Structure 1
């Protein structure tokens, strides 16, 4: 066959193939097997990775710089990159950069549909900062604002430790700010504040003893994380650390925890791996009897006795006002971590969405939220007179569930605030009232509709008591009414 004839046959074949392809994409049913007859063609498997959305190529990443080369000290921590020691003050600042891209394991912690930095990670950050200044006790830590990790967007994190006061205590504060072009002028968001104290970490007085504890009933963990997911807790593999749970008749929980094999970064990179510590609180979530999204809000008396644990045996003891004490040991019974009290608090999932931008772009204000009607039950209560005499109430011998203190409108602001402050201080310090709640009743202290002017005296009382509520969650309640408050 002449070369020209062969080329014409190939051209005709190519034009025919093009025509068939055009017909096929327009919906014509084409029998392709006829086309390939006699050519030795065979079926082969398509490469599946393109359809599994799984990449086999190295990512470029965001890169990192040597902290020492920049005149800083390396933090040596998975969540922190550098340590800055200001020359002008006796303090320290630890910095880092977080995102779901650079720290993919954090994406395994989803609450209400949003990826949040776990509250246990704030504890780890504060403990690492305390280690930098020789403070082994995290006396208290209060979480004020969630840190939402949105997509691949990075946030710059700062953990600041101030100079010690006259008692040796140091304030520790955690801030963040979105990191990117044009965002260096954005204000920092304060997420947590606490107090660090120097001194050796005290060993828990009570160990675990026999394991599992005698008389404790095992808790069914079948589909435990599926059940939690239905309530809004989205825990990925790294955070699914519960292995076994027992409960005693007194309400104590005992739990076995372990990080999944191959977890990155490993537990040895942390003082206490946030995912492992977070799993300890999952045992509490199993028995709340409520569909509320409970998250750790305040930590008290936190000590780290050993570092790098990958498995724990934990005792959780319920306390007053919904707190729970935690003591964690390794598998040999040696103490690892302890907290005198962990306070859980209900969170509103809708407030997490877009929190990273909403906090920066709006002023802080108080919004009214409609609550569903709750089931009524009889409550023992007592009303204080205008002199707020708590001593007389305590001397009576019967402590009610609610102690109501009416706050009169008008008058001199300084005197009224002083009276309320002394009442609150006396109430929270009285051991006899630890199971009671103080209710302060005001009238027109806050505007309900646009244009309404609140009473300046009782409005100041609201500001004072709201601050006190952050330090004593569950102990104080403010009620504003639109009728006269009887103080006689």
Structure 2
């Protein structure tokens, strides 16, 4: 230990300035305090996740991890906007998932007023650095409620069977607990879906309870069997809270929709003008994979009429490239031997492969000035039109092209009478394999 005393210096802003309203305390399940920043730079609202007080936080599980739902970020933005007099959320984009854990600190930063608009960002911190999860813009005036579509209920539309709805979501990696199984009924009318959603016990301190809004968003899965996660919101208007809601979801594109919520009397609760959704990471396992192939080129080839550098090492090539870029010469050929695997089983020279990586990086910064040519033993360097990368094998010119990968079947089928142990990947992938084996 050092012999001198530690010099303590605190960098956290101290809540010595009162919040715009009240005494700095926030009556919200996830937020606790509010503090004005100096020089009119905005307001910071802070809080902390506590699963004992809010057990529903752990019931939104995606691919095996409890994640704070996108609807919770919407509620945080709405609550922050209400606190500063900007109750509408003009846009909100999610950037990074927030894994739920006790003690995680939450911060909602609202920027200064710019002609009735304020920027908003939501961060969290566990043990390390602050992580930004969402950014957006708050506005002053909510959109006026539309026509009273929810007064006539149930709607004149085809009822949808929801018996296996949450089982199917779980198979896709969306393991929702009871709090997030709020979709009670659904109807379909073309590209418009109607639904009834509810939360077991709503907390009136939320602007819009996350479990309620999440259940409304789940309605999109009725129209598209591929489960997706919210990514970007636009035009969020909120008027009142409720524990039970009627939902109208209109599909506006392949990954976009509009959502309106009303209470049981048909009065408007909230509207989302546009919601963009994305499939979660790992959900595209069944999509066709691609790979780089080297088909032979039938076009005529020519001798190089530009400078050729026969590379022997990355260090030497770097020096040559740097000198070349100081000249007015338009293009240069960098030639290697056996640096790329054109045919199965070919041995690759690591130094040549490193040269290819180096030159590709240089070509990204200086498009059109480099041509990479890899020749096999006994082959001469040749060019083919404007192709920037070529490989010569046995006199034939090959060029890299992206093609669908060939998937090979299993060497032998599994015995239907045997026992199979599935370990790891117990979410989407493990469930898919287990169902395949069972069938």
Counterpart-to-counterpart distance in 1, 2:152 and 2:18: 52
The aligned counterpart of 2:145 is 203
Contact 1:173/1:194 (8 A) holds in 2: yes
The answer as to 2:84 corresponding to 1:133 is yes
- Mapped to 2, the partners of 1:172 and 1:329 lie a distance apart of 26
Find the counterpart in structure 1 of residue 57 from structure 2.
106
Cα drift, residue 224 of structure 1: 1.8
1:285-324 matches, cutoff 5 A: 285-290=221-226, 293-307=227-241, 309-324=242-257
The count of corresponding residues between Structure 1 and Structure 2 is: 292
Q: 1:124, 1:271 within 8 Å by CA — same for their partners in 2?
A: yes
Take 1:327 and 1:273, find their aligned partners in 2: how far apart are those partners? 15
For the 8 Å contact 1:83–1:93, the answer to whether it is kept is yes
Whole-Å separation in 1 of the counterparts to 2:400 and 2:272: 44
Please, which runs of 5 or more residues in structure 2 have no aligned partner? Answer: 1-14, 291-324, 326-353, 368-387, 390-398, 402-439
Q: CA deviation at 1:348?
A: 1.1
Distance 1:312 1:330 in 2: 5
- State the Cα distance separating 1:240 from its structure 2 match: 0.9
User: Paired residue for 1:330?
Assistant: 263
- Indicate if the aligned counterparts of 2:49 and 2:103 stay in contact, CA closer than 8 A: yes
Deviation at 1:450, TM superposition (A): 5.3
Secondary structure of the corresponding residue to residue 243 of structure 1: strand
Deviation of residue 370 (structure 1)? Answer: 8.8
CA apart distance, 1:321: 4.7
2:70 alignment partner, one of 82, 96, 119: 119
Structure 1 unaligned runs (5+)?
1-66, 351-368, 376-410, 412-446, 460-480
TM-score of the superposed pair, with normalisation by structure 1: 0.55
**Equivalent in 245, 262, 281 of residue 186 of structure 2:** 245
Q: Provide Cα deviations, 1:178-226, integer angstroms capped at 9, x if missing partner.
A: 0xxxx4xx32111000001112452124523422222x11000113211
Q: Does 1:232 align with 2:173?
A: yes
In structure 2, C-alpha distance between the alignment counterparts of 1:122 and 1:454, rounded to whole Å:
42
1:41-190 to structure 2, matched below 5 A, reads: 73-150=24-101, 153-165=102-114, 167-178=115-126, 183=127, 186-190=128-132
Q: Deviation of residue 101 (structure 1)?
A: 4.2
Shift of 1:154: 1.9
Deviations 1:148-169 (A, max 9, x none): 124xx4211100000122x432
- Retained in 2: the 8 A contact 1:247–1:254? yes
2:402 is equivalent to residue 453 of structure 1: no
Is this contact kept in 1: 2:148–2:266, CA < 8 A? no
Instruction: Write out aligned runs for 1:358-377 (5 A).
Output: 372-373=287-288
Q: Which has the higher helix share?
A: 1
